[in-house]
């Protein structure tokens, strides 16, 4: 395979090995690195470990950007749960027997959020695969990346495995629906249309209502206050996928015609 690589790919591949060597003592003694680079190595920062772990070409849908490979920049567990939810992955009990395509997530001792993720390829042998930041996509043993940094037992690159996620299409379909404009929204934020044949965003929610958002991302509450569309009660936060045509219409009051009618009625009384 190496013979088919360009000079740049060979240089990038060697740089990656040098970087990985700094992570694991065993690489210095082993006749071969305890991991395998998957396919011709090319530096690629367009996706990361979390985005790779929940991606499979067989799951791609051109109409759903969350089924495509990309970056998930979750800084907290709540953010990761939310991002994985959009991609049909849900946290399950960590002691559940592993299955192929399950995702295990790491947490470093110095971090309160997730630090890395890998997908399980073979639960029997413990073979996994993960993306190393902007660098190599590798196959490795389930616990290889929990190793401590060389000569420092208290320091870890990624930390320990602490969470387990599994793809669940049925659960996803319970949580999400499509609106009449074919946009995916959370079921809790949607209601049936008058015809009963589709869904739309709820016109009102407890504590206020959400009006039609403007092109600048604004929405109007019942009290008339303007707020950012993505922060408005009941608004669906989909990182750039909040569409104006999904927001329920607001009945406009007042206007010139209304004033003319009111004036005519007053004149008629006198």
Return d(Cα 254, Cα 256) in angstroms, integer. 7
Taking alpha carbons only, the member of 118, 115, 135 closest to residue 19 is 135
Q: What is the pLDDT of residue 135?
A: 80
Question: What is the value of pTM for the model shown?
Answer: 0.68
The domain locations on the chain are: 2-167, 177-246
Q: What is the pLDDT of residue 161?
A: 96
Q: What is the pLDDT of residue 244?
A: 26
Q: What is the pLDDT of residue 198?
A: 65
Q: What is the pLDDT of residue 197?
A: 64
Q: What is the pLDDT of residue 57?
A: 93
Q: What is the pLDDT of residue 85?
A: 94
Q: What is the pLDDT of residue 259?
A: 72
Q: What is the pLDDT of residue 255?
A: 64
Q: What is the pLDDT of residue 63?
A: 80
Tens place of pLDDT per residue across the chain (270 aa): 455 677 877 887 787 887 777 776 555 556 667 888 886 677 788 999 999 999 999 999 888 888 999 999 999 999 999 999 999 999 999 999 999 999 999 998 888 999 999 999 999 999 999 998 878 889 999 998 988 777 777 777 788 999 999 999 999 988 888 777 677 778 787 777 666 666 667 765 454 444 444 344 444 444 444 433 333 333 333 332 222 222 233 344 456 777 777 777 777 765
Q: What is the pLDDT of residue 31?
A: 63
């Amino acid at each position: 395979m190496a013979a088919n690589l360009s000079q740049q790919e060979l240089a990038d591949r060697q740089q990656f090995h040098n970087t990985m060597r700094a992570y694991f003592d065993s690489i210095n003694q082993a006749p071969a690195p305890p991991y395998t680079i998957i396919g011709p190595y090319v530096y690629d920062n367009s996706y990361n470990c979390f985005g790779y772990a929940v991606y499979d070409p067989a799951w791609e849908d051109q109409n759903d950007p969350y089924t495509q490979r990309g970056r998930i920049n979750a800084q907290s567990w709540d953010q990761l749960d939310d991002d994985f939810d959009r991609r049909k992955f849900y946290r399950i009990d960590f002691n559940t027997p592993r299955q192929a395509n399950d995702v295990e997530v790491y947490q470093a001792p110095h971090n309160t959020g997730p630090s890395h993720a890998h997908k399980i390829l073979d639960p029997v042998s413990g073979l996994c695969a993960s993306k190393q930041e902007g660098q190599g996509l590798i196959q490795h043993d389930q616990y290889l990346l929990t190793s401590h940094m060389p000569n420092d037992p208290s320091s870890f690159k990624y930390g320990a495995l602490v969470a387990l996620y599994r793809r669940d299409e049925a659960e996803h379909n319970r949580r999400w629906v499509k609106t009449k404009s074919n946009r995916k929204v959370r079921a809790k934020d949607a209601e049936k249309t008058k015809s009963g044949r589709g869904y739309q965003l709820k016109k009102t929610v407890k504590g206020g209502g959400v009006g039609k958002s403007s092109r600048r991302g604004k929405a109007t509450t019942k009290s008339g206050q303007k707020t950012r569309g993505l922060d408005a009660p009941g608004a669906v936060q989909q990182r750039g996928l909040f569409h104006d045509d999904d927001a329920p219409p607001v009945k406009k009051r007042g206007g010139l015609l209304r004033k003319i009618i009111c004036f005519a009625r007053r004149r008629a009384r006198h």
